[in-house]
Chains A and B, each alone.
Chain A
Amino acid sequence: MTSKPILGPYSQGDILRLGAAMAVTFLVLPLIIQSDYWYSSILIPWLCLALAAIGQQFVMGYAGQLALGAAGFMAAGAFALYNIELRLPWMPFPLALFFSGLIAAALGVLFGLPSLRVRGIYLMVATLAAQFFIIWTIDKFGWFKNYDTSGIITAQDIVIFGHAFTSPLEMYLVVAAVVTVLTILAINMTRGSVGRNWMAVRDMDIAAESMGISLLRTKLQAFALSAFYCGVAGALFAFTYLKSLEPVAFDIKLSFQILFMVILGGLGTINGAFIGAGFILLFPVVLNTVGNAWFHGMIDATIISAIEQVVFGALIILFLIYEPLGMAKLWEKLRARTFGMSAVRPTVPADLAQKP
């Protein structure tokens, strides 16, 4: 099969791929991309949304809990970071970001509680409460916005070791660094016992419980980590992409988009979070560009956006029916066909697999 694991759950191939991805992220892209547009409007939001999608994967793709409210936790993270920067300006940025995630995680536990009682569509409705409650609270109590009345609050500068990261490239590097670290931690967890417990609960909760897994702890852990990832993603999204803090940016539509990223990208894969986020983000851009180029403005923008909705809807239904593992699986199949690599990734250290 594949090569031996050399670092925990990673095979040599994994390390190569991860190394290549990091080299591209931190060296190649910064060297070849000069345009600010690419950083500010594509790479930064893509990475932020992919991070939120990883959070959604934890709770939905791995733990199998149909939760809808990622944007609420993103808002919590964003406003937490704003308030920490405002009120505790001495706190180093990475620490402030971490605490923003923790605050979102605490809310995640709270709003994950219904998962102990209800499931499926009922849980989805229950978790929507997180979405509305968090946004409502931020809107209702002026303290969260520092009693700003203008409606739009400018995000503070990101300062690390006395250096302000203000250019698009610098902000991109900050986002990329955080996303890289959290992605590696996510891979470690999902390939290890944490992910196994989640998947066991997802696939057959009564059997999981009979094997000694506490449903309460496991589900709430998934909700907490999911909200942590969403919180950090939301904070980065506000501080590096929007550069402002407005609750409307985190409305229900964003929650749905993150849900779709996970479904299209592939439930229960970390790759899928990146693929899904990229697709959802880029698809409208591509459609717009193509629409304008081919039809020279003859098609109304509202029609293009209608087409976008229809195509999304159709794709989601198709994927749910024919390829629940999403684009990540298609990509693996394609890779297998083109490079003759194994389509099924062994989820285990390969040296054990080779025991005669």
Chain B
Amino acid sequence: MTQVRNFSIGGPVLEVQNISLRFGGVKAITDTSFKVLMHEIRAIIGPNGAGKSSLLNCINGIYKPQEGKILFKGEVLDRISPNIIARKGISRTFQNLALFKRMSVIDNILVGRRLHMSANFLQVAFQTPAATREERENRERCEEIVDFLEIRDIRDTPVGRLPYGLQKKVELGRALATEADVLLLDEPMAGMNVEEKREMCRFILKVNDELGTTMVLIEHDMGVVMDISDNVVVLDYGKIIADGPPEAVRTNQNVIDAYLGVAHD
């Protein structure tokens, strides 16, 4: 983190308070609380099945936790659907790629601009000046993202035909296009080689530095986590076992035990 940050880390923007989530008998998350600070890069780590993705799914409204609440900018996000939560300023990427497969790269990114476009279907059908201006401005914005992510050569390719790593990049682009205040990134670097990971880190850091976007990212690669995150939450069996700066978390005995697979009592 050698770049200069335009935004210094502030107070809590997202507060997860005592949430529990069950699927039948499976306890995915148990009484979990933590806070994400404004403009920070927050990593969530933990072994497979720890409940990391479920946590993100709770935050953006895909899962409804049975207990607890989630506050965003002081407002409770309760039982509202993902599209309303997106409106409030939370966007995301998915662990198992959730791109619009038959649409081109640029069209995928354009969908990320959804909330910046307000022309209704009649305005679009009749190509009113407002609708065409809005379309043009948002396309220009997406072209900037295409350039930023260095994916100009694939901009018209249907994303379903792209290799995995590029699809991950496009999904990041779509999330960036939303210009949300908080981005939830579920393993954005999974399946990438070292080069690609480094590149991805560069993008994430740059966006955070320049735009101040708060990032909550799930990542298994400890090197990456240590490098880019301001704070780390460690989940194990649906519970938080550590929360703090990367150096502190790395030396935490609970964390070491969890990763070494020490038996629970």
Q: Which residues of A contact B (CB under 8 A)?
A: 7-9, 185-186, 188-189, 192-194, 196-197, 199-200, 202-204, 206-215, 221, 225, 268, 344, 346-349, 352-353, 355
How many angstroms between the C-alpha atoms of A175 and B93 in the bound complex?
Answer: 47
Chain A residue at minimal CB-CB distance from B125:
A185
**B99 and A207 form a contact (CB under 8 A):** yes
- Taking the closest CB of chain A, its distance from the CB of B156, in whole angstroms, is 6
Chain A residue at minimal CB-CB distance from B140:
A352
Interface of A is mostly: helix
Within B64-121, which residues are at the interface with A (CB < 8 Å)?
A: 81-83, 86-87, 91-92, 94, 98-104, 106-107, 110-112, 114-115, 117, 119, 121
Determine the chain B residues whose CB is within 8 A of the CB of A202 once the complex forms. Answer: 100, 102
- Taking the closest CB of chain B, its distance from the CB of A148, in whole angstroms, is 37
Query: Is B124 engaged at the interface, CB distance under 8 Å to the other chain?
Result: yes
How many angstroms between the C-alpha atoms of A346 and B103 in the bound complex?
Answer: 11
**B103 and A200 form a contact (CB under 8 A):** yes
Chain A residue at minimal CB-CB distance from B127:
A8
B131-139, B197-205, B223-231, B254-262 - interface stretch: B131-139
Query: Is B214 engaged at the interface, CB distance under 8 Å to the other chain?
Result: no
The residue that B82 contacts in the complex, of A209, A221, A346, with Cβ under 8 A, is A209
Q: What 4 A-B pairs have minimum CB-CB distances, sorted nearest first?
A: A207-B98, A203-B100, A212-B86, A212-B115
Query: Is B62 engaged at the interface, CB distance under 8 Å to the other chain?
Result: yes
Determine the chain B residues whose CB is within 8 A of the CB of A353 once the complex forms. Answer: 155-156
- Taking the closest CB of chain A, its distance from the CB of B185, in whole angstroms, is 12
The residue that B98 contacts in the complex, of A188, A196, A206, A213, with Cβ under 8 A, is A206
Determine the chain A residues whose CB is within 8 A of the CB of B83 once the complex forms. Answer: 209-215
B140-156 interface bits toward A, Cβ cutoff 8 Å, 1 = contact, 0 = none: 10010001000010011
- Taking the closest CB of chain A, its distance from the CB of B12, in whole angstroms, is 22
Chain A residue at minimal CB-CB distance from B156:
A346
Given A196-B111, A213-B111: A188 in contact with B86 (beta carbons within 8 A): no
Q: Which of A199, A347, A348 has the most CB of B within 10 A?
A: A348
**B121 and A189 form a contact (CB under 8 A):** yes
Q: Which residues of B contact A (CB under 8 A)?
A: 60, 62, 81-83, 86-87, 91-92, 94, 98-104, 106-107, 110-112, 114-115, 117, 119, 121, 124-127, 131-132, 135-136, 139-140, 143, 147, 152, 155-156, 174, 178
Determine the chain B residues whose CB is within 8 A of the CB of A344 once the complex forms. Answer: 156
- Taking the closest CB of chain A, its distance from the CB of B187, in whole angstroms, is 15
**B81 and A209 form a contact (CB under 8 A):** yes
Determine the chain A residues whose CB is within 8 A of the CB of B136 once the complex forms. Answer: 349
**B86 and A189 form a contact (CB under 8 A):** no
Determine the chain B residues whose CB is within 8 A of the CB of A211 once the complex forms. Answer: 83, 86, 91, 111-112, 114-115, 174, 178
Given A203-B100, A207-B100, A268-B102: A194 in contact with B124 (beta carbons within 8 A): yes
**B124 and A189 form a contact (CB under 8 A):** yes
**A347 and B156 form a contact (CB under 8 A):** yes
List 27 interface pairs A-B (beta carbons < 8 Å), by A numbering. Answer: A8-B127, A9-B127, A192-B119, A192-B135, A199-B100, A199-B102, A199-B107, A202-B100, A203-B103, A206-B98, A207-B98, A209-B81, A210-B86, A210-B92, A210-B98, A211-B83, A211-B86, A211-B91, A211-B112, A211-B114, A212-B86, A212-B115, A268-B102, A347-B104, A348-B106, A352-B140, A355-B143
Chain B residue at minimal CB-CB distance from A348:
B106
- Taking the closest CB of chain A, its distance from the CB of B215, in whole angstroms, is 16
Determine the chain B residues whose CB is within 8 A of the CB of A210 once the complex forms. Answer: 60, 62, 82-83, 86, 91-92, 98
How many angstroms between the C-alpha atoms of A77 and B124 in the bound complex?
Answer: 24
Given A192-B131, A200-B103: A206 in contact with B86 (beta carbons within 8 A): no
How many angstroms between the C-alpha atoms of A186 and B86 in the bound complex?
Answer: 28
Determine the chain A residues whose CB is within 8 A of the CB of B110 once the complex forms. Answer: 193, 196
Given A199-B103, A210-B83: A194 in contact with B125 (beta carbons within 8 A): yes
How many angstroms between the C-alpha atoms of A221 and B122 in the bound complex?
Answer: 11
Determine the chain B residues whose CB is within 8 A of the CB of A225 once the complex forms. Answer: 121
Determine the chain A residues whose CB is within 8 A of the CB of B124 once the complex forms. Answer: 188-189, 192-194
Determine the chain A residues whose CB is within 8 A of the CB of B131 once the complex forms. Answer: 192
- Taking the closest CB of chain B, its distance from the CB of A7, in whole angstroms, is 7
Determine the chain A residues whose CB is within 8 A of the CB of B155 once the complex forms. Answer: 353
The residue that A189 contacts in the complex, of B112, B125, B140, B152, with Cβ under 8 A, is B125
- Taking the closest CB of chain A, its distance from the CB of B58, in whole angstroms, is 13
Chain A residue at minimal CB-CB distance from B108:
A200
How many angstroms between the C-alpha atoms of A209 and B84 in the bound complex?
Answer: 9
Determine the chain A residues whose CB is within 8 A of the CB of B126 once the complex forms. Answer: 185, 188
Determine the chain A residues whose CB is within 8 A of the CB of B119 once the complex forms. Answer: 192-193
Chain B residue at minimal CB-CB distance from A192:
B124
- Taking the closest CB of chain B, its distance from the CB of A56, in whole angstroms, is 18
Determine the chain B residues whose CB is within 8 A of the CB of A206 once the complex forms. Answer: 62, 82, 94, 98
Chain A residue at minimal CB-CB distance from B104:
A347
Chain A residue at minimal CB-CB distance from B155:
A353
Q: Which of A8, A203, A213, A268 has the most CB of B within 10 A?
A: A203
Determine the chain B residues whose CB is within 8 A of the CB of A212 once the complex forms. Answer: 83, 86-87, 114-115, 178
How many angstroms between the C-alpha atoms of A185 and B124 in the bound complex?
Answer: 8
